[in-house]
Amino acid sequence: MGATAMRSLLDESESRFPLDLGIRIPKIRELYRVATARQWDPLKAIPWDTLRPEDYTEEQRLAARMYWSRRTWSEYGAISESPALQIRFCQEHHEPDLRFFFTLRTQEESRHAEVSYLFAEKLGGYIAEPKKAAFQGSVATHGVRKMALDLDTPLAATIASLVCAAEEIAFDMIHHVAKVSTNLAAKTVFKLIARDEVRHCAFGWYYMEHRIPTMTRDEILHVQEATEIMIEKVYLNGYQEPWLAPDTPASREEVEADRITYEAGLGATVETLQKPVFIGTVKRVRKLMQPWGFTLKPFYHPRLGTI
C-alpha cells in the first residue's frame, strides 16, 4: 500500500471570524513590542567602510563569498517557513500573540538574509547555489514548511523542534562567531543578528511554557520525536555547519572555505572551536526539555562522539 497522504492545512476552508486580537500570552506580546522598537537597516547599520575587500587576498575573498552565500541560503529558509507558520496560527485560531510576533520574525529573517547577501556581494559577488550538487542535501531544507502545514503534526512539535532546538543551536553558533570575527563589519553583523535571535529563541520557550500544561502525552511524544529528528537528521547532517555534513569533496571544500574565512577574520569558525559550543547547546536543550516529560535520546556523530 502507498504512503498515507499528508492532511494539509491548505485543504481546509478558511474561517477567520470571530477575529480575536487580545493578549493571551503576555510574554510573547512583549517580544513583539520589543521587536517593533529594535529594527535595523542592513544598508545603514553595518560599518561597511571597515570591510575593505582590497585588504584581503583573492583566496580569502572567494572563501568568504562562499561562507556568506551559504549563510544567505540558510536565512532564506527562515523567510519561507514563517508564512507557513502564520497560516497555521491564523487558520487554527491560535493565540493572536503568535501572529503578531511572527510578522516581525519574518522581517528579521529577511534582514539576516539581505545582510548576508550584501556581505558576499561586497566581497566580489553572491553565489546563488552550492557549487556541487552533492552539498545541497545538507543545506537545502529542514522540512519546517511541510510540518507547519501538516495537520497530523501538532504545532507545539514544530515550534519545539524549530525554535527550542534549531534556533537555540543557531543562536549559540552566531554568538560564537561574533566573538571570534575580527573584521568590524562582520562582528557587527553577527551582533545584530544575535540580538534578533535572542527574541526568536525566547518565543519558543515562552510558547511551550504556555502550551505544555494542556498537552496530551501523545502530543508531548510528538514534540520529543520532532526535536530529535531536527537535531539528528538536520543539524548533524551539516545544515549550517559543513564539518558536520557527510564527508564528500563538496563538504570538504566548504570546510576549507570556512577555515580561510575564519583566519581572515571575516566570519565563520573552525571545527575545533565549534565542537564544545555545539555539544554544550545540545546538552542544555536536553536539560531544559526534561520538565516537559521526556529526555532527548543520545545523539551520535563521528566527529562529536555521543552527546
Q: What is the pLDDT of residues 216-255, one digit of tens each?
A: 999 999 999 999 999 998 889 888 888 998 888 888 999 9
The DSSP H or E segment spanning 15 is none
Cα end-to-end distance, the chain, whole Å: 38
The residue with cell 518565543 is 203
Is the pLDDT at 139 greater than 50, yes or no? no
The pLDDT, as a whole number, for residue 143 is 61
Top-confidence residue, 238 or 207: 207
Identify the CATH number of the domain in which residue 143 sits. 1.10.620.20
Has residue 222 been placed in a domain? yes
Which residue segment(s) compose the domain that 273 sits in? Answer: 22-43+52-306
Model confidence over 39-95: pLDDT tens digits? 999 999 999 999 999 999 999 999 999 999 999 988 887 787 888 888 889 888 899
167 SS3 class:
helix
**Percentage of residues of the chain with pLDDT beyond 70:** 89
Has residue 79 been placed in a domain? yes
Average pLDDT over residues 180-192: 97
Model confidence over 248-288: pLDDT tens digits? 888 899 999 999 999 999 999 999 999 999 999 999 999 99
Q: What is the pTM of this model?
A: 0.89
> Could you tell me the pLDDT band of residue 8, with boundaries at 50, 70 and 90?
low
Mean pLDDT in the chain? 89
Has residue 162 been placed in a domain? yes
The pLDDT, as a whole number, for residue 1 is 38
Q: What total number of domains does the chain contain?
A: 1
The DSSP H or E segment spanning 190 is helix 184-211
Has residue 16 been placed in a domain? no
Report the C-alpha dihedral over residues 151, 155, 157, 161, rounded to 10 degrees.
120
Has residue 13 been placed in a domain? no
Q: How many Å apart are CA 251 and CA 246, to the nearest integer?
A: 7
